[in-house]
Amino acid sequence: MDQSSIDALRVQEIAPRGHFINGTFHAGETGALHEVLSPIDGQPLAHIAEGSPADVSSAVHAARTAFDDGRWSRMPPAGRKKVLLKLADLIEAHALEIAVLGVRDNGTEINMAYKAEALSAAATFRYYAEAIDKIYGQIAPTSHDILGLVHHAPVGVVGAIVPWNFPLMIGSWKIAPALAAGNSIVLKPAESASLSLLKIAELVAEAGVPDGVFNVVTGRGSVVGEALALSMDVDIMVFTGSGATGRRLLEYSARSNLKRCYLELGGKSPNIVFADAPDLAEAAKVSAAGIFRNSGQVCVAGSRLLVQQDIYEEFVAEIARHAKNFRVGDPLDLTSQIGAVHSLRELEANLDFVTKAEAEGAERRTGGERILAETGGYYMAPTVMAGVKETDNLFQNEVFGPVLAVTPFKDEDEAIRLANATVYGLAGGVWTSNLSRAHRMVAEVRTGVMHVNTYGGSDLTVPLGGVGQSGNGHDKSLHALEKYFDLKTAWIKL
């Protein structure tokens, strides 16, 4: 990856993109297009099809037909494996093109996007391709004259809705295991960040996934997402996004066919630093990256920093120093460490959090303002707000931007209480040299992922999911396959 290759790709014109249904691209029933603005400069970037309920119906019908006739669902696992491995190779071969395309519509810094989006997606497809022919059924311990078998049957049609912050990485966490298990998919990307997933649709067809098995309908969540979730022919919904949308999906499930909904709904993750942390300088460096990379637009971001009183002022000063030193700028520039906020609406919401935090008594140690406005893009200085109280808006609610809330604590009991004092439970971290304390914190902090003496980073071998209002579904690892199978019992008299 070099700057000249990136610069050549950044200026490529993007033709209007339609839906991908039954193996071909379509303009859609109405032919209407949605304008996509680039967060890099605020200028029009592309036009994508504005989906309608009729488009969703066509995609679901294609997916159901493909599932029922068995062109993919009844293909031997080794056959699906071969196709998905080819898809992984194609994604890797087009990795830079895909990464640049995604950065142009979502604003993630290219150094992160290349690894976390394109290369991560290729690795995800390889992981589930290799896993699927190693998933066995079971023989139940019944009486001597009965054979009880437990089969894994694909669920059918999967409706998937993915967000704008890491559309390809998160999309692959859902697409890869669902396809590996033999299901058909209708995918709805975020209307502001669809380009990388539409490129994947091209590669899916090239890899040999049969027509109708993988479909993409673009457009607004209030139209396309609602139609998908209300469909009587979608068997499960998988979703990453806001709690408000997750609640609507559950409502739509109740109003339709009681489809199962697996939801990953974000968080307000506590990152807890004790005075006995093994390396406070390293803790500050990693903690700063854990909130400010990708402009804080990461569901597991360590957005609440809890610091023991003995080291509070020293540690806050070090965090602020790191925040000031990050290079924020054009996400397609290899020297930029932090890219753009995704949209003007998100930027304004981030700034509003800062204003309200100050009104509630928090102290702005650095950042808190829009920067590089002359570019037309959406950039925000990494922000450290100290003295945030448990009752403050910034302590309780997810910003999804580069804004860190810092709160002091006295002892372990108070750290646990503060860590658990929100409705969320997605991720967390603890920095300590005390092994017993580390185990107690892992056990007592209510969260789906707990880091010890690090923050962020994991691989496909472990699940990602939350508790409380962070949702109920798990992506990654072999556990992710479970939701894409139904268990079917065969009870056979011998």
How far is Cα 263 from Cα 285, in angstroms, rounded to an integer?
A: 31
How far is Cα 337 from Cα 323, in angstroms, rounded to an integer?
A: 11
Alpha-carbon separation of residue 211 from 65, 245, 417, 437, 451 (angstroms): 10, 30, 52, 54, 42
Catalytic residue among 264, 318, 398, 412: 264
* One-letter identity of residue 279: D
264 has catalytic annotation: yes
Buried-exposed string 366-382: b where 16+ CB fall within 10 A, e elsewhere: bbbebebeeeebbbbbb
Contact predicate 465/448, CB 8 Å: yes
Q: Where are the beta strands (DSSP E) in 165-228?
A: 184-188, 214-216
- N-to-C CA span, the chain: 62
How far is Cα 66 from Cα 148, in angstroms, rounded to an integer?
A: 30
Contact predicate 365/384, CB 8 Å: yes
Q: Which residue from 246, 288, 222, 247 is spatially nearest to 455, judged by alpha carbons? A: 288
Locate 250 and state its tokens: 């559950």
How far is Cα 399 from Cα 61, in angstroms, rounded to an integer?
A: 38
Locate 107 and state its tokens: 């604003």
Q: Which residue from 390, 389, 371 is spatially nearest to 381, judged by alpha carbons? A: 371
Residue 162: partners with Cβ closer than 8 Å, 6 or more residues away: 170, 171, 174, 187, 188, 189, 190, 197, 239, 240, 241
Active site residues: 264
